[in-house]
Amino acid sequence: MAIILSQRREGAKTTQRISFAFPLRLRAFARHQRNHQLNELWALVAAILIATQVSAGEVADTTESPHAKLQPIALNDVRWTEGFWADRFATLREKSIPTMWELMRDGKYKPFLGHFKIAAGEAEGDYHGAPWNDGDFYKFLEAVAAVYAVTDDPKLAAILDESIAAIAQAQRDDGYLHTPVLIAHRHGDQSVQPFQDRHNFEMYNMGHLLTAASLHYRVTGREDFLEVAKKTADFLCRTFENPSPDLARNSVCPSHYMGAIELYRTTGDQKYLKLAQTFLEMRNLGVSDGDKIIGGDDNQDRIPFVDQREAVGHAVRANYLYAGAADLYLETGDAQLMKPLEAIWRNVVERKLYVTGGCGALYDGASPDGSEQQEQITRTHQAYGRNYQLPNLTAHNETCAAIGNVLWNWRMFLATGEGKYVDVIELSLYNAILAGMSLDGVDFFYVNPLRNIEPQPTALRWARTRVPFVTSFCCPPNVLRTLAEVSGMAYSRAGDELWVNLYGGNRLSTELNGSRLTITQTTDYPWEGRIEFAVDECSDQPFALKFRIPGWCDGATLSVNDEAVAGKLASGSYAELRRAWKVGDRVTLNLPMPPRLIEANPQVEETRNQLAVQRGPIVYCLESPDLPAGVRVDEVALAADATLRPVFEPRLLGGVTVIDADARTRPAGDWSGRLYRPLDGAAKGKAIDVRLVPYYAWANRGASEMTVWMPRD
């Protein structure tokens, strides 16, 4: 039985709806009731709900956000049953999480869990690791909680219990929690103090703590981790009550915006919303000190956020900022926030986004690039470059940047209901993010180039083969939590509307407009575009099913019980079917996905006169294991009229649809000692057959050369 109560938040102008998944918030509201009998009723309801707490947890919980057009579905309402995402979820549960837990618990590379035990005095040792390793551990725990929401696996519960106990023991009495500083103090070094160095990543770590703890509470109903988060947030409230410009600049990689708002959504405590507003507003203090510019584009604080119109600087920091600002908009409706968010989004998707959904093109750069005001130019790294600056071989494309882009686009979608944001989410998930992890779930990329050749023409940081550990370990646990939470983005709802966002074999069992709704989705997506939905349980009242028609799709069709639905379905929109549904009703959605040749805007100089291949949401690449002997990836050209043939190969790369194509070699010849040479018009290539594989699966057959873009023959 679902219990949904209407209750007015203290000081709010709108009546909020409170669902059974939020007992803590119910108790908080009960304390604010003036009527004693209502107080007792609310307390009783809260107690009952706590006693019957079930796994839940939403990805960005906008259930009560007054400016959200849509609300997410709880993680455990969606179970992957078969196919693409079911396979990845199984790998995540059976391989990725146990392997990463062993790594983080045993300290094989760095003492992630060990740092908390050292800080608590339960173990001996020093801090040795990146300053953001606490945040990496929190992201891992968020992944564990998300998988536990679906599986109720006692092994996962044990991981959470041991970890949370160590974290709570390490926390200082005043709520401060950052193990590099706490360990220094335990060893008698008082010279190290909180917030001395913005690149110590205290705020970033604490932000991931708040997010992980909020999800853990919503999944389990337990308050031990949430109490740690509340103490931390209360410490931040006191510390940043009157921030100085130096203190204000501690917003590097601002996961704490999302964290504070998620804590507010979980507890209903207004001070955490005010804290998030303070975080964003105080960025202006870091812009300048009198006439002196002290901010910079590397951290997006050269100019106030509300004046920004272009994505600049460190791509992870940027995308976390944009996601946090979108979260704040969902709670406040501040139009000043949506104006830069929309402009920056257009700048990214129209000028700075890779065909794979990757972003953050540069290892190192400068911004504002070429400005006459040279005193404002700052070094940027792992950064968005200038417009149309999208190199392939030297692309940085940190996995975390793609994840940050998904976080941002998900919040923009919840605010607007516009399908274009889910198009970006899908592109990034299937390509830029999945590429960051090996098919067996235990090795990882930090960077994701679109071309790889050997030898590299220049020395570059980070490996071109996936490895189990990198010194900057932020991406691996970030991939885990993202894949664990894909089910939470598959559907959303608004009133009596169920929105279908992402496709994959699953069973949905949820509440819609106060009634139970159960639907089974069957499909081989993304390899095939036929998707079937069966209504297993529903109300006798009319409601709407809304199906996303991806922007890449032309000619989509819908039928209900084998009867075609009239009218053209527009790409990039949602097709609505509203009726009184019955148990046994079937909907069939067909999304044609012929392979397509893709070209880039001619201002993207590195891909002029080159072609890429995409089928459905999957971007393809040419990899050296699939080439004839003696032919290298940079010697293969595709014609504009090349025949592209999709073929499913169940024994290749875990089962993938490949693209077989007609191509031609373009012999490179001898370039030794030459930068330029006369064109050899007599040099002739030969016709060959090539096989293209999904970009996300490259480098899973050993070291290899690879390219997404190929010359146009």
Predicted confidence at residue 59, as pLDDT, reads 83
Are 557 and 576 found together in one domain? yes
Query: Domain end: 569, 593, 617, which one?
Result: 593
Alpha carbon distances (Å) from 617 to 356, 423, 506, 576: 9, 9, 19, 22
538 and 575 inside one domain: yes
478/546 same-domain check: no
In the predicted structure, residue 466 carries a pLDDT above the cut 90: yes
Backbone φ/ψ region at 402: left (φ over 0), alpha (ψ -120 to 50), beta: alpha
What number of CA atoms fall less than 13 Å from residue 661's CA on the CB side?
A: 31
My answer on whether 581 and 615 are in the same domain is: no
Highest mean pLDDT among 18-27, 500-509, 672-681: 500-509
Checking if the pLDDT of 318 tops 50, the result is yes
Q: Is the peptide bond before 245 cis (omega within 30 degrees of 0)?
A: no
Residue 132 and residue 271 in one domain: yes
Note the pLDDT of residue 658.
98
Is 579 in the same domain as 617? no
Q: Is the per-residue pLDDT at 578 higher than 80? A: yes
What is the identity of the amino acid at 243? P
Is 61 a member of any domain? no
Residues 335, 259 share a domain: yes
536 and 475 within one domain: no
Tell me if 352 is assigned to some domain: yes
Average pLDDT (555-561) is 97
Based on the fold, state whether residues 258 and 123 are members of the same structural domain. Answer: yes
Domain stops at, among 593, 624, 659: 593
Q: What is the pLDDT of residue 31?
A: 36
Cβ atoms of 3 and 41 closer than 8 Å: no
Q: How high is the pLDDT of residue 197?
A: 87
Q: Identify the domain containing residue 602 by its residue range.
A: 598-711
Q: What is the pLDDT of residues 204-245, one digit of tens each?
A: 999 999 999 999 999 999 999 999 999 999 999 999 998 888
CA angle centred on 320, ends 316 and 325, rounded to 5° = 150
Judge if 602 and 662 occupy the same domain: yes
Other Cβ atoms less than 10 A from the Cβ of 529: the count is 21
Confidence of residue 373 (pLDDT cuts 50, 70, 90): confident
Q: Which position has the higher pLDDT, 4 or 166?
A: 166
Q: What is the pTM of this model?
A: 0.92
If you count them, how many residues does the chain have? 713
What average pLDDT is seen over the chain? 91
pLDDT value for 40: 52
What pLDDT score was predicted for residue 291?
Answer: 64
Judge whether 66 lies within some domain: no
**Encoding tokens for residue 264?**
């507010």
Pairing of strands 497-500, 543-549: parallel
Instruction: pLDDT band for 288, please (50, 70, 90 cuts).
Output: low
Residue where a domain stops, chosen among 489, 509, 529: 489
- Asked if residue 354 belongs to a domain, the reply is yes
Domain membership flag for residue 70: no
Residue 246 lies in a domain: yes
Do 585 and 608 lie in one domain? The reply is no
**pLDDT at position 36 over 70:** no
- pLDDT in the model for residue 65: 96
The answer to whether residue 108 sits within a structural domain is yes
Please determine, for residue 15, whether its predicted confidence score (pLDDT) is greater than 60.
no
d(CA 300, CA 283) in angstroms, rounded, equals: 9
Q: Percent of the chain having pLDDT more than 70? A: 91
The pLDDT value given to residue 290? 62
Residue 619 above 50 pLDDT?
Answer: yes
Instruction: Tell me what percent of the residues of the chain surpass a pLDDT of 90.
Output: 80
Domain count, the chain: 4
Answer yes or no: are the C-beta atoms of 501 and 452 closer than 8 Å: no
For CA atoms 372, 601, 614, 550, the dihedral sign is positive
Q: What is the CATH number of the domain that holds 562?
A: 2.60.40
| Number of other CB atoms surrounding residue 273 within 10 Å | 19
* pLDDT tens, position by position, 359-371: 999 999 999 988 8
pLDDT by residue (tens digit) across 677-713? 998 877 778 999 999 999 999 999 999 999 999 999 8
How much is the average pLDDT of 259-263?
98
Q: What is the gyration radius of the CA atoms in the chain, in angstroms?
A: 26
Over 60: is that where the pLDDT of 14 sits? no
289-308 pLDDT, tens digit per residue, is 666 667 889 999 999 999 99
pLDDT number for residue 27: 43
Name the band, by pLDDT with cuts 50, 70 and 90, for residue 374.
Answer: confident
271 with 385, same domain: the answer is yes
pLDDT one-digit tens code per residue, 71-117: 999 999 999 999 999 999 999 999 999 999 999 999 989 999 999 99
Written as one string, the DSSP assignment of 623-668 is EGGGS-TT--GGGEEB-TT--EEEEEETTSTTSEEEEEEEEEE---
In this predicted structure, the answer to whether residue 6 has a pLDDT above a threshold of 50 is: no
In a domain, 68, yes or no: no
The residues, any chain, with a CB within 8 Å of residue 272's CB and separated by 6 or more, are 233, 237, 260, 261, 263, 264
